[in-house]
Amino acid sequence: MSTEPTKPCLVVTFKGITLMLDCGLNMQSVLNFMPLPLVHSAKFDALPYWTPRDESKDWQIDRELKSHAAANRLFVDSAPEFCPPVEKIIDFSQIDVILISNYTCMLALPFITEGTGFKGVIYATEPTLQIGRFFMEELVEFIERSPKEIVAKHWKEMIHVLPPPLADCIKPKSWKHIYSKAAMNAALSHIQLVGYDQKLDVYGALSVTAISSGYCLGSSNWIIASDHEKIAYVSGSSTLTTHPKPMEQNMLKHANAIILTGLAPLPNQNPDTMLGEFCMTIATTLRQGGCVLIPSYPSGVIYDLFECLSIHLDKTGLSQVPLFFISPVAETSLAYSNIFAEWLSSGKQNKVYLPEEPFPHAFLVKNGKLKHYTSTHAEGFSTEYRQPCVVFCGHPSLRFGDAVHFMQLWSNNPLNTVIFTEPDFVIEQLLAPYLPMAMKALHYPIDTSLNFSQANKLIRDLKPDHLVVPERYTLAPLTVPHRNDLVIEPIGDKPLITFNRGEVIKLPIRRQKTRVLLEPALAETIKPVEIRPGVSMATVTAELEVKDNTYTMKYLESRNGRKRKTQGLPPCKEDVLRGRRIEFGSINPELLIQKLNQEGITGAKLQRTPQSAVILLQDSNAKIELQDNSTLICCNGDLKIRRRLRMCVLQCLKRI
Amino acid sequence: MPEIKVTPLGAGQDVGRSCILVSMGGKNIMLDCGMHMGFNDERRFPDFSYITSEGSATNFLDCVIISHFHLDHCGALPFFTEMVGYSGPIYMTHPTKAIAPILLEDMRKVAVERKGESNFFTSQMIKDCMKKVIPVTLHQSVMVDADLEIKAYYAGHVLGASMFHVRVGSQSIVYTGDYNMTPDRHLGAAWIDKCRPDLLISESTYATTIRDSKRCRERDFLKKVHDCVDKGGKVLIPVFALGRAQELCILLETYWERMNLKVPVYFALGLTEKANNYYKMFITWTNQKIKKTFVQRNMFDFKHIKPFDKSYIDNAGAMVVFATPGMLHAGLSLQIFKKWAPQEGNMVIMPGFCVQGTIGHKILNGAKRIEFENRQVVEVKMSVEYMSFSAHADAKGIMQLIQYCDPKNVMLVHGEYAKMEYLKDKIKKEFGINCYNPANGETSFINTSSKIPVDASLALLKSENKEYSLLPPDPKRRRLINTVLISREDGVCLTDSNEAEEAASINKHTVRFTSTIYIRDAGTVESTAQKLLQPLQDKLKDWEIKLLDGSTIGVETVLVKVQADPGEEINKKIYVSWTNDDEEIGSYILGYLQNLLS
């Protein structure tokens, strides 16, 4: 339901349960909007408003679109809008469970759960909830603190006459403004916390389990299992060693299907090399007296950046350069990172046993090297601020947050550098509204999530029956169309199952068996008969109880069967069912006649035809017709005779 | 009948050296491995010869589970792993793994360096032992091997304390360790879901106590401390480094702040300070309130409470000192006690349970003269107060936990015999389930019978469901199912009879009976059949009776067919025919029609 595989949102229906897998928010749409500066920007204000050439019709869009000559495009001058998961394909009130893989894949939650009649539960780990919460808080805060007077909406009516790239926007009418803090809190209150390897029961029909995915603090893959089937949902995973707990792979094996999303969108970068170049570039810039801006999210790779950068600066004699971390949630982020010991790699975990803070940034904060502020207006920032320095702040889209301020402040100086590490956006689009600029802009995408070759290797190891991927993963990336190696390979000769936004596909998993529980009292009465070596059978008649999607078979008590017979009451269902057995084998006519004689039924005459043998019993006025798989006993209304015949016939057959 | 075998090696009708052996489904599990604070001889450790008499402990045991870091639950662990010899897996929570080695080392120092004991485990042994520990998180299902699964639940007794659910196949137990059912100033309350174990092994320290409200006890405590220091007295509060110490520190800290008191409050340096650091880092294990506010103000950064130096013992004037250990059996708390005990204005507050044999236990029982090993005699003139702050569940809490997890049997450990007996009766009466309280070395056998999971073909269940949903709703109707169980090398499965025949490649043999009744009835065969339909429907109310074609009535496989020779208008034949499956209905209908028509 999302167009971006790194911000997935899928819905799976299995055993009558509707599960939503992740709830990522696609933010590409915000790049079409003007940045939200903290203070009025002369440069942005000076941009002319765009007016349509065709003035025959009143589009009512004056003051909605700004024309940016340097970027050669139009921007919407309004509060940014986001592209939430598609509506109308599924009724959100029918969703039973939402599984969240990590904090980057949950920002669309309020769009799904608030005002839609949503009644389900959301499962996420504790770090996912806490960090996800401050991702959301930051986003809402950034946008709320720079309110726009005008809500531009008329431009959406006329995209067909607008120049590209606005003309290429897909369904801008479905874009939405950011949610309120209240909606955010309400959405998060649906979350129930889970631990890794905790089996959660979903209405008795399924069990879901979060397992470590190694991508970020508390990130998880999910196992969705019934008694016999297993679907694995792999999203945002990493096989590299960074700060989170390593990825759990064993549990993903032998799945009927693996749904794979969240692969690195820019597949040809090695994060370690990028990190090295990142540190070197910063050192070079600082030495030349320039400042460095690193637009970043408030948690995640940023912790590794603090760690590596501070070590590198110490080594290169730049340890006196201050690092600023500016975010409304900076303090919270730093504090929380040090209390999630259980979710960290064993190296970091062992520090807690000493007891020392697992991340060195706690130490950096203590000795004043890393300073954190809620915003550039925060008390103390202006007195501490000095150049050169390194600033980490949001938002990586450069459309809102303190990053907008620093872009305006520094972009005219060629000594300064802005470094993009988040892989979510295309750098040219990010910078467009700031053109022309003198500042250097570099892109060192540091993405630890699986790349295509790692993913292909993983899949070969895991050997799922079926592999389900976004269709995009079967084509070479748009930026490098010749790289045919950058695709997901099918497993063996089975074709990949692909999906697109808004598409409904059927997974080829056929359920054949399910689990039932036998009560001990019933189990004791079951006496299997050996049919042939290794195979035994028994008929079981029981009362079936279906409660919470669990089947239980109970011992079936008779309702006064004997009393019924003596009183001439009709037989009840329980007794009839219990009397049912399976007869098998075929009857030897001679043997049957022998049995009949023993029983005192004499005068049998055997007639053979090609298909059958008929035994005529003239004395008893009866006839038994024998075929390979059936026997017909005809007699007149004499009850006693018939019972005796029945007994003899059954004695000649095998029964279970 | 499958059974679970439980043998306490320690904590059977006693408090101290908790160590319980459980055998079920071919697996052997050791729950806790503690030491006894009241003894200095070999009774200090559980009697491990019970398991090592027939070979190595590693071969015998599948795993060891430690519930929390108190020494009466983990104190014998290095002895067991390094000196007795066990190299299998050991499970405990992260905070327990972090804190236990520190307490063990502290205890080792007291035993070896102060008391001069030999043949005790070394520092290196503690480290080697901790390397074998696998940390677990709450609610994580850990598969020890293919059949043995363990899962931890929050116990709220101390930081990282947990209860463990242990399952082998369809048998399961819950071991509570020590737990607390009421949230306190720094920890939350114990919680477990309705996991319905075959056996709940619960501590029963406060089996007969129903404690008054926490607020009253806190007020009482603060008043006593305040009164004493007002008169210039010194207050000694012996505590264990982790647990009560933090709760009482938070309590005093807020009180001192509110009342603007200037009297110094100290805590013994080292352990407690370090301990507070653990609390800061494992804040996710504390209660909601602390978790919410920790970013702005970490509750464990104290302003009024300062580190204690030994030279302060002889300082004049009022003061409050927290010192370890909690039962006055060794260390700094005992040292301070010896100095302060003879002065009347002073006070010692025992905030927790003391095991037999400790000084703490003696003074709580009113001893006024204490003689020490080196013949030193101390007169106890200071006032001795007992305040139950130790975070154990009281009788009400234990009953509440039983209600939460709904076990089939209960076993009481970690308590005194007489109190256990009282609670045992109460449990039997109230829940109608068996309750055990074996002594150390005594084995209890708990019979279990639980539901057996079997695979069933979906086709079978679907056809039953289809049939059932076609019937008019009736809450009293039982859902009945007739199936065939096939047991093959690849497992056991329930199927319908067609699938079964195919799977076992047998040929079903159908036996059908036909009897004829001759009657005289004018009219068409259809009208005769119509006449029979109503009486049959009236008689066989349980069954669905249908007119199949004009002249045939069907019930299950029973067919009642009316026929007449061509041209014959009065004499008719009624064939009643059925397969052996429906022998009972068939013969009943035949008999009924014969009666009706004769």
Dihedral angle, C-alpha A384, A386, A391, A394, nearest 10 °: 60
pLDDT (0 to 100) of residue A387: 85
At B111, is the pLDDT very low, low, confident or very high (cuts 50, 70, 90)? confident
Domain with CATH 3.30.310 in chain B: 512-597
* A515-524, A571-580, B468-477, B508-517: the lowest-pLDDT one: B468-477
Q: Is B510 on the interface with A (CB under 8 A)?
A: yes
Delimiting residues of CATH 3.60.15.10 domain(s) in chain B: 3-210+391-447
Q: Where in chain B is the domain with CATH 3.40.50.10890?
A: 214-386
Q: Is the pLDDT of residue B168 over 80?
A: yes
pLDDT at A214 over 70: yes
CB contact under 8 A, B514 and A632: yes
B411 confidence band (pLDDT: 50, 70, 90): very high
| pLDDT class of B319 with cuts at 50, 70, 90 | very high
Taking 80 as the threshold, does the pLDDT of residue A55 lie above it? no
Reported as type and span, the H/E element at residue B396 is helix B395-405
pLDDT-derived band of residue B213, with 50, 70 and 90 as boundaries?
low
Task: pLDDT band for B564, please (50, 70, 90 cuts).
Answer: confident
How confident is residue A59, by pLDDT bands cut at 50, 70 and 90? low
Looking at residue A497, the DSSP 8-state letter turns out to be E
Sequence-distant (≥ 6) Cβ neighbours of residue B238 within 8 angstroms: B323, B324, B325, B326, B327, B328, B333, B337, B348, B350, B351, B360
Give the pLDDT mean for B194-204.
93
B573: its two tokens: 């034949």
Question: Which H or E run includes A542?
Answer: strand A535-547
| Four-residue CA torsion sign, A519, A524, A525, A528 | positive
DSSP secondary structure string for all residues of B96-164: HHHHHHHHHHHHHHIIIIIS---S---HHHHHHHHHTEEEE-BT-EEESSSSEEEEEEE--SSTT-EEE
The DSSP annotation for A445-492 comes to ----S--HHHHHHHHHHH--SEEEEEGGGGS--TT-TT-TTSSPPPST
Q: Mind telling me how many Å the CA of B138 is from chain A's nearest CA?
A: 7
Provide the token pair at A122. Answer: 């959301």
The proportion of chain A whose per-residue pLDDT surpasses 90, expressed as a percent, equals 38
Is any Cβ of chain B less than 8 angstroms from the Cβ of A533?
no
- Can you tell me the mean pLDDT for B564-574? 83
- pLDDT at position A56: 63
Which residues on neighbouring strands pair with residue B549, listed in sequence order?
Answer: B552
Asked if B235 and B383 touch (Cβ cutoff 8 Å), the reply is: no
d(CA B13, CA B204): 9
* Average pLDDT of the residues in B266-279: 72
B481–A515 CB contact, under 8 Å:
no
At residue A638, does pLDDT exceed 80? no
Torsion angle (degrees, nearest 10) of CA B489, B491, B492, B496: -90
- B203 as an active site residue: the answer is yes
pLDDT number for residue A260: 92
Instruction: Check pLDDT > 90 for residue B436.
Output: yes
Mutate to test the interface with A, among B126, B281, B450, B516 (most CBs of A within 10 A): B281
Does B543 reach chain A within 8 Å, measured CB to CB?
Answer: yes
The domain B214-386 is placed in CATH, from the list 3.40.50.10890, 3.30.160.270, 3.30.70.260, 3.40.50.11900, at 3.40.50.10890
Of B54, B82, B149, B203, catalytic: B203
State mean pLDDT over A593-609: 85
> What pLDDT is stored for residue B212 in this prediction?
64
Domain B3-210+391-447 belongs in CATH node 3.60.15.10: yes
Q: Which amino acid is at A325?
A: F
The nearest CA of chain A is from the CA of B314 a distance in Å of: 32
Among A306-310, A381-385, B406-410, the minimum mean pLDDT is found in: A381-385
Side chain identity at residue A564, one-letter code: R
pLDDT value at residue A562: 58
Encoding tokens for residue B590?
């035949």
Evaluate if pTM is beyond 0.80: yes
Quick one: pLDDT band at residue A54, thresholds 50, 70, 90? Answer: low
CB < 8 Å to A209, chain B: 141
Token code pair at residue B112 = 């070896």
Can you tell me the distance from the alpha carbon of B256 to that of B111, in angstroms, rounded to the nearest whole number? 36
Q: What is the mean pLDDT of residues B361-384?
A: 88
Q: How many CB pairs under 8 A join A and B?
A: 248
Q: Tell me, what's the pLDDT at A268?
A: 65
pLDDT band for position B358 (cuts 50, 70, 90): confident
Residues 169-188, chain B, touching A (beta carbon < 8 A): none
Q: Any idea which of A45-59, A151-165, B447-461 has the lowest mean pLDDT?
A: A45-59
Indicate the Cα dihedral angle A90, A95, A100, A103, nearest 10°: 70
Cα angle value B168/B172/B176 (rounded, 5°): 125
Q: Which of A158-167, A203-212, B468-477, B528-537 shows the highest mean pLDDT? A: A203-212
Find the CB nearest B515 among A358, A518, A635.
A635
Summarised one tens digit per residue, pLDDT across range B2-33 is: 899 999 999 899 888 999 999 999 999 999 99
pLDDT value, residue B114: 65
A152 or B411: which leads in pLDDT: B411
CATH number of B512-597: 3.30.310
Contact A512 B458 (CB under 8 A): yes
pLDDT digits 0-9 by tens, A395-428: 999 999 999 999 999 999 999 999 999 888 888 9
Spatial distance between the Cα atoms of B458 and A542, rounded to a whole number of angstroms: 17
Helix locations, B432-553, DSSP H: 458-470, 497-504, 525-539
Q: Residue A584, Cα to own-chain centre: how many angstroms? A: 51
* Spatial contact of A232 and A250, defined as CB atoms under 8 Å apart: no
**What is the DSSP pairing of strand B133-136 with strand B90-93?**
parallel
Give the mean pLDDT of chain B: 87
Q: What is the pLDDT of residue A627?
A: 87
Question: From the CA atom positions of chain A, what is the Rg in Å?
Answer: 36
Task: Report CA torsion sign: A144, A149, A151, A155.
Answer: negative
d(CA B204, CA B413): 6
pLDDT value, residue A96: 94
| Whole-number pLDDT of residue A156 | 85
Predicted pLDDT at B445: 94
* B216 lies within 8 A of chain A by CB: no
Count of CA atoms in the C-beta half-sphere (13 A) of A204: 11
> What are A352-377's pLDDT values in tens digits?
887 788 888 888 988 889 999 999 88
Q: What is the pLDDT of residues A106-129, one digit of tens each?
A: 999 999 999 899 999 999 999 999
Q: Which of B451, B489, B563 to mutate to test the interface with A (most CBs of A within 10 A)?
A: B451
> Average pLDDT, whole number, for chain A?
87
Q: Which residues of A touch B288 (CB under 8 A)?
A: none
Q: Using pLDDT thresholds of 50, 70 and 90, give the confidence band for residue B440.
A: very high
The per-residue pLDDT for range A543-569, each reduced to its tens digit, is: 888 887 788 888 887 766 556 566 677
Q: What angle do CA B484, B489, B492 make, to 5 degrees?
A: 35
Q: Which of A308, A263, A327, A285 is nearest to A459 (CA)?
A: A263
What value does the mean pLDDT take over residues A37-64?
78
Q: Which residues of A touch B453 (CB under 8 A)?
A: 515-518
Note which residues in 354-383 of chain B have CB less than 8 A from chain A.
none
Q: Which residues of A touch B280 (CB under 8 A)?
A: 339
Residue B254 predicted with pLDDT over 60: yes
Span B343-367, mean pLDDT? 86
